[in-house]
Amino acid sequence: MNKVEVIHSPALLPLYDLKDKVVVVIDILRATTTMCVAFNTGVNKILPVASPDECFMFKEFDFIIAAERNAVRVPGFDMGNSPFEYENPLIAGKNIAFTTTNGTKAIKMAKAMNPHSILIGSFLNITALSKKIKESGRDLILLCSGWKDKYNLEDTLFAGAVIHKLAATYGMHDDAALSAYFLFEQHQDNLEALVRKSSHAERFTILHLQTDDVKYCLQQDTLSIVPEMEGEFLVNLGLKNEVLIMKF
Amino acid sequence: MNKVEVIHSPALLPLYDLKDKVVVVIDILRATTTMCVAFNTGVNKILPVASPDECFMFKEFDFIIAAERNAVRVPGFDMGNSPFEYENPLIAGKNIAFTTTNGTKAIKMAKAMNPHSILIGSFLNITALSKKIKESGRDLILLCSGWKDKYNLEDTLFAGAVIHKLAATYGMHDDAALSAYFLFEQHQDNLEALVRKSSHAERFTILHLQTDDVKYCLQQDTLSIVPEMEGEFLVNLGLKNEVLIMKF
């Protein structure tokens, strides 16, 4: 039986060994949800970047530049971090340089620790993701992006949902995995009520976001793609193959 | 209404502001439980020390030296970290230099961040502790010692129990507090079943401890004392007054 561990915050990454493991990066509200939507719309590559300043430098290289800080789009950038924006068919075939408060940082930190592979998780693609994890036959790290290195509810809830899906083939290896499992068990019949209580959902309410991003990000199995890292880029290997066939 | 935050690991302490707050250090299995028992037996002062080597240096100053690493007593020391050992009446009136894998480290890290006060929490003194917190009228940090900087179930469970006791006067200020609240809510009718699932209880089983420390550490309200930091020492201010009266 393979093992699954949960990391509640990127700040705790140095305590873990990622070698030969599959790492799923989780930022439910909203970066990893948004990335799944972007690839479903037909984006070619996403380059995770640490800071808005560094992200801006990719503009001259024909990237769409996208930056979010503190839940809002950074002024001067093409796009923010709402999944609704990434349903726009105009982004199909484009490359995006992307920086967010938590998610892209978690991806870059995980990448620096040389795991076997890095996958992008969201409720939208949870079944496709779980299938891909099982097929890997490797031990698993579920990495919650958190909020500025602090614990958050929605990422842990998703980690618990994945553990439930994998229960037949993955054993829980640490207390963090157990707590995620119990959190999902307790709230599975009403995820939205729990996530509305979270500090990040509250942040959205204060900002009066015009779209209901919380509800959007809790949709399950609307997508069958699983973005993953290839070198420095996030790609959708499944979709890329189709695109290649179309090109040649 | 005062605020309560939960910190799952000492490694996350630098993200928090402890100034003017009350900090409760939690290491249910077993350091903070054992400290409560020691003061109830009549220990005078406990000096938390970082490492066994440093702890050993206090032997010549008439301290009892106590050291635990990886759940067992360090060879050459007077005592380990089982609460049963600290019921021995021979330790009454003595001073103890104490180092453990997680609890004493958490205490020393919190101390270095200058909170208003540091209290020691366990299920044994939970009602007395909650009363003292309420009387402080200050914002609260519940600091879980974890296991080698990783999340653990039993400390979070206790944090949730304290939040339930304080619900009328303390509002949950972060997602970590919410998750602790929900964990206790879900398991309050059978704490032992949950804690037996934890990685630390499993560690005890592997070590074949002769005493049932898990059951002991989950007793509720057997003690009415609340150890707290005074300078570099842990003391029992309530008991100390009585001792002073007896001396003069």
pTM of the predicted model as reported, rounded to 2 decimal places: 0.93
CB contact under 8 A, A12 and B15: no
Provide the pLDDT for residue B240. Answer: 45
CB contact under 8 A, B151 and A176: yes
**Distance between CA atoms of residues A44 and A17, nearest Å:** 31
Contacts of A110 (CB under 8 A, 6+ apart): A10, A13, A18, A23, A25, A118, A141, A143
Provide the pLDDT for residue A17. Answer: 96
Q: Which residues of B touch A199 (CB under 8 A)?
A: 174-175
Query: For residue B197, which of B159, B158, B161, B153 has the smallest C-alpha distance?
Result: B153
Q: Which residues of A touch B175 (CB under 8 A)?
A: 147, 150-153, 198-200
Mean pLDDT, rounded, for B230-240 = 85
For residue B181, pLDDT over 80 is answered with yes
Interface test with chain B among A143, A152, A175, A202, by most B beta carbons within 10 Å: A175
Q: What are phi and psi of B154, to 5 degrees?
A: -70, -35
Residue type, A39: F
Provide the pLDDT for residue B209. Answer: 76
Provide the pLDDT for residue B203. Answer: 85
B85 three-state secondary structure: helix
Mean pLDDT (chain B, rounded): 94
Mean pLDDT (chain A, rounded): 94
State the architecture of A2-29+102-247 in CATH terms: Alpha-Beta Complex (3.90)
For residue A164, pLDDT over 90 is answered with yes
Neighbours of B157 (CB within 10 A): 25
Cα torsion B221, B32, B96, B213 to 10°: value is 80
Task: Report residue A247's pLDDT band, with 50, 70 and 90 as the boundaries.
Answer: very low
**Distance between CA atoms of residues A153 and A198, nearest Å:** 6
Mean pLDDT, rounded, for A160-174 = 97
Provide the CB-side half-sphere exposure for B127 (13 A, CA): 6
Mean pLDDT, rounded, for A130-139 = 98
Task: Report residue A239's pLDDT band, with 50, 70 and 90 as the boundaries.
Answer: low
Collect all residues from A whose CB is shorter than 8 A from any CB in B.
8-9, 11-12, 15, 147-153, 156, 174-176, 178-179, 182-183, 185-187, 197-200
Q: What is the DSSP string of B186-231?
A: HHTT-HHHHHHHSHHHHHHHHHT-SS-HHHHHT--SS-----EEET
For residue B247, pLDDT over 50 is answered with no
Tell me the pLDDT tens digit for each residue of B139-156.
999 999 999 999 999 999
For residue B192, pLDDT over 50 is answered with yes
Mean pLDDT, rounded, for A36-41 = 98
**Percentage of residues of chain A with pLDDT beyond 70:** 96
Largest CA distance in chain A: 50
For residue B248, pLDDT over 60 is answered with no
Range scoring the smallest mean pLDDT among A195-204, B68-77, B119-128: A195-204
Task: Report residue A236's pLDDT band, with 50, 70 and 90 as the boundaries.
Answer: very high
Mean pLDDT, rounded, for A144-157 = 97
Contacts of A193 (CB under 8 A, 6+ apart): A187
Q: Which residues of B touch A182 (CB under 8 A)?
A: 183, 186-187
Collect all residues from B whose CB is shorter than 8 A from any CB in A.
8-9, 11-12, 15, 147-153, 156, 174-176, 178-179, 182-183, 185-187, 197-200
CB contact under 8 A, A179 and B179: yes
In Å, how far is B7's CA from the nearest CA of chain A?
A: 9
Helices (H), chain A: 31-41, 52-56, 103-112, 126-136, 153-166, 175-187, 191-197, 199-207, 213-217, 237-247
> Domains of chain B: which residue ranges?
2-30+102-242
CB contact under 8 A, B15 and A148: yes
Mean pLDDT, rounded, for B48-76 = 96
Provide the pLDDT for residue B239. Answer: 54
Peptide bond before residue A73 is cis, with ω within 30 degrees of 0: no
Provide the pLDDT for residue B206. Answer: 83
What is the residue whose two structure tokens read 């037909």?
A42
Provide the pLDDT for residue B244. Answer: 44
CB contact under 8 A, B197 and A178: yes
Neighbours of B39 (CB within 10 A): 25
**Percentage of residues of chain A with pLDDT beyond 90:** 90
Token pair, residue B95, equals 């001073």
CB contact under 8 A, A183 and B179: yes
Token pair, residue B62, equals 């008439």
CB contact under 8 A, B15 and A176: no
Tell me the pLDDT tens digit for each residue of B107-120.
999 999 999 999 99
The domain defined by B2-30+102-242 folds into: putative 2-phosphosulfolactate phosphatase (3.90.1560)
Task: Report residue A203's pLDDT band, with 50, 70 and 90 as the boundaries.
Answer: confident
Mean pLDDT, rounded, for A31-49 = 98
Higher pLDDT, B152 or B241: B152
Q: Which residues of A touch B186 (CB under 8 A)?
A: 182, 185-186
Query: For residue B182, which of B193, B192, B167 has the smallest C-alpha distance?
Result: B167
Peptide bond before residue A69 is cis, with ω within 30 degrees of 0: no
For residue B66, pLDDT over 70 is answered with yes
- Quote the distance between the C-alpha of residue B96 and its chain's center: 15
